[in-house]
Structure 1
């Protein structure tokens, strides 16, 4: 069938295989013993994991990479069966390209084409990319990452988690719940989780739990048994001009789900989608799943959970803050829809430790606690800082921490669109450090730098500084961080690269202080 992904044994080649979304899909395919190759510019633990499964990875994006499987197969006496050339479903060829395969590909004969891999691209791939151009020239079937995920979703009884915020945590928590209750799910998420040591796992059960991303509009491709929408806001002004466009995408996603679960604390979800199953942090909302007797603590959250007016029992979370309790209610709703008892659900959720870069504790050195978080939208920053403030202040006064928020704005388009909202998002921080904007491939508009972000925040916050580079941020924090500080690194870019060096600096400082004390007591 035209436009269909072939799971019968034909190879896959990922351009940019080390990305968090691409690598999850590659992992599932490799675990299914399908031939997988890909390219990336550097080795990391994600690509190493794929190599350990037998994936062949090239460390440059060259046109010759696409000959790998054809050369390998040509050396065998038995060739793969002939296959038709597939064309990307929406004609965009991996999201970034503007040409269509039907007009630009030099399609080979069926015998030749059968030896070529199915090429998987993300929206980040530029149409001028050498591998991408070679794929067009050779007549490879080219699919966007979302086309492959959509095909996998069709292969399972799928649970797809969408929403502007909370997708990774909610999908990871649901995956953890199904894993802990013996349902052995396949999982594809946008973050790494300790329970399955990565961003994906292949299970033998009938369920697939997938994080469904709206950033490039590809959300409309997914048809799931169960869909979850956590909230709806404008977050990607590089793709959407208005909130109404975002809502339209979510409406299409909702129409493709057999059962839709939604958080009605978000008025947009409540009014625009009218989910079949609802959840809310407020008993008076009338939602199907609600909570009361909530206790937010520095080491977690507790609440009583109600199902349509009947008390299910107490739920305990290791995760902090209202937003994570809301995410947990979504997981409860899914579990109950799958006929799990609350007595199974609650213990499973209680053991969930979160996903990497979602208020991730990186370590404590010289009494400085380092936390890494992916928050890059004003709403996410406010929620994350509220959790940090709770942890920093729910201690005896003599032991309370300063919250030092270190922020790397992500994308010029997002920074420009939400500058006023960013300005008011840091009230729960004691000190704010801002570095320059992480472009993520976008061109820089005139007169927009991290300094403008600092100026906007300074109108609402007394202690904010600008450090233009990561090196400058590192140097400033080496001089500024004090014992008892909570250093919170915020952003979707590469800010967290400096955390290991800062932890090492504080470790050396602690050893130096310890040595000085030893020297003093020796006299």
Structure 2
């Protein structure tokens, strides 16, 4: 079925939301200013603009190593949102965390400078390409990275825009000369419907982003039915009942991957562990071995999805699988941050119950003396709707520390704090040691004293919780150095 930007068939987005906005032209755009440029999606968009020869400037609320990296590429950066420093860009691009009353947005509008949403900018850059859009509740970033890895290995030289940075390259953006444009398509605000893809991947569905989808899972299924109907080809996880309903409603025949016998690509999980995941994919009456350096059955599924996409581009499954053997994962996806005092520190971007439960399972396979989960709940609406599930998802840890909510651009909701997640933990596992520390300094002080040799600390959340983990690790390292100096 051909992608089309015509009338809505299965789900109608709210008036004025991102999928209702036009895809602008990049012609004549010589300079852009990005608000929220420090976030993973925006900084990689900045890198892509730079590679296209566009002058880039941007701002963010706090300084970071990522801003300094962009500065080394010639991007003009300022910390804080100051309309006096906006300059005269051809276009202003805003992330989902930027509100309409942001002073730089207001200044741009007053000056007549077009303001694009991030997905509109992606659509502008993708014009003239065959687009590969990776969507789904979980696994988008890793799957997008694996698709890009396979296409690069086959010499197809794709353009890539990923919502995270690959561990091998340190970047999630690549400007290629081929006709394929691979990008991560975000369903949280409906923006995945902006660009009709050549290939659309749906990794899975889950009840999330309920502020945008008040009808719950049923409405989410309708939205993904709309997405599937707009794709020329669909690749989908074949073991997901919700996804099956969405595809059935859309009347779309997808290429499926999964463990069930009816999938076009059948996956068998052979082994899991800290050294990586091993599996076998049966496709085209042949078996292809998957050897990954990253752990988890979910990563084997991501790899199977990538093989399916690459096959549509003419890449043999064996070529993709060989490329995956060198894939080292993505920043903030169960990323090893370092060790201190004999304890291991990991960080994961997961913020939903499903993702956090998988993270705990992955950490458990490392057999630590104790597993300590440091959780930064993300967005007030998610905590209000899913506090029980969020608490249950980390209830297999030995110690759970919960910070206050990372609200991003959302206003606080009265009565909604990280304490709700603590209550969820206690409902799932009464008596499990659980500590609520809303103040950042208290987190560092507590864990700096608490963590011992043999522990594994994993920070979870898509905010800045990784900074807390690094601060704890630094505190412990300082304590160890002082002790060694005394000795």
**TM-score, scaled relative to structure 1:** 0.83
1:15-414 superposed matches below 5 A: 15-69=35-89, 117-241=90-214, 242-274=216-248, 276-284=253-261, 286-292=262-268, 294-308=270-284, 310-392=285-367, 400-414=368-382
Deviations 1:108-155 (A, max 9, x none): xxxxxxxxx122123322222222122222222221111111222333
Q: Any idea what SS the aligned residue of 2:183 has? A: strand
Q: Is the 8 A contact 2:132 2:183 kept in 1?
A: yes
Q: CA deviation at 1:513?
A: 5.5
The aligned counterpart of 2:6 is none
Give the Cα separation in 1 of the matches to 2:359 and 2:245: 26
Give the Cα separation in 1 of the matches to 2:158 and 2:322: 18
Q: CA deviation at 1:391?
A: 1.9
Residues 141, 515 of structure 1: alpha-carbon distance in 2 compared, 3 angstrom cutoff: closer
Q: Which of 476, 481, 493 is matched with 2:446 structurally? A: 476
Structure 2 unmatched runs, 5+: 1-21
Matched, 1:12 2:32: yes
Q: CA deviation at 1:9?
A: 4.1
Residues 276, 153 of structure 1: alpha-carbon distance in 2 compared, 3 angstrom cutoff: farther
Q: Any idea what SS the aligned residue of 1:387 has? A: helix
Residues 67, 515 of structure 1: alpha-carbon distance in 2 compared, 3 angstrom cutoff: closer
Give the Cα separation in 2 of the matches to 1:135 and 1:293: 52
Q: Is the 8 A contact 1:277 1:288 kept in 2?
A: no
**Residue range with higher mean Cα deviation, 212-221 or 21-30:** 21-30
**Residue range with higher mean Cα deviation, 366-375 or 130-139:** 130-139
From the CA coordinates, give the structure whose radius of gyration is larger.
1
1:422-437 superposed matches below 5 A: 422-437=390-405
Q: Is the 8 A contact 1:405 1:488 kept in 2?
A: yes
Q: Is the 8 A contact 1:368 1:506 kept in 2?
A: no
Q: CA deviation at 1:514?
A: 5.0
Give the Cα separation in 2 of the matches to 1:231 and 1:373: 19
Q: Any idea what SS the aligned residue of 2:163 has? A: strand
Give the Cα separation in 2 of the matches to 1:130 and 1:293: 51
Give the Cα separation in 1 of the matches to 2:303 and 2:123: 25
Q: CA deviation at 1:515?
A: 5.6
Q: Any idea what SS the aligned residue of 1:192 has? A: coil
Matched, 1:467 2:437: yes
Q: Number of residues paired by the alignment?
A: 460
Give the Cα separation in 1 of the matches to 2:222 and 2:260: 29
Q: Any idea what SS the aligned residue of 1:190 has? A: coil
Q: Is the 8 A contact 2:402 2:421 kept in 1?
A: yes
The aligned counterpart of 1:458 is 426
Give the Cα separation in 2 of the matches to 1:481 and 1:388: 16
**TM-score, scaled relative to structure 2:** 0.89
Higher RCO (C-alpha under 8 Å, 6+ residues apart): 2
Q: Is the 8 A contact 1:435 1:469 kept in 2?
A: yes
Q: Any idea what SS the aligned residue of 1:406 has? A: strand
Give the Cα separation in 2 of the matches to 1:17 and 1:176: 25
Give the Cα separation in 2 of the matches to 1:45 and 1:252: 39
Q: Any idea what SS the aligned residue of 2:116 has? A: strand
Residues 125, 337 of structure 1: alpha-carbon distance in 2 compared, 3 angstrom cutoff: same
Q: CA deviation at 1:26?
A: 1.8
Q: Is the 8 A contact 2:389 2:424 kept in 1?
A: no
Q: Any idea what SS the aligned residue of 1:459 has? A: helix
The aligned counterpart of 1:86 is none
Structure 1 unmatched runs, 5+: 70-116, 393-399
Residues 8, 49 of structure 1: alpha-carbon distance in 2 compared, 3 angstrom cutoff: farther
Give the Cα separation in 1 of the matches to 2:78 and 2:445: 35
Q: Is the 8 A contact 2:165 2:331 kept in 1?
A: yes
Q: CA deviation at 1:66?
A: 4.1
Give the Cα separation in 2 of the matches to 1:184 and 1:391: 37
Give the Cα separation in 1 of the matches to 2:185 and 2:71: 26
Give the Cα separation in 1 of the matches to 2:180 and 2:148: 9
Q: CA deviation at 1:356?
A: 0.6
State the superposition RMSD in angstroms: 2.1
Q: CA deviation at 1:3?
A: 5.8
Q: Any idea what SS the aligned residue of 2:266 has? A: strand
Q: Any idea what SS the aligned residue of 1:33 has? A: coil
Give the Cα separation in 1 of the matches to 2:472 and 2:296: 27
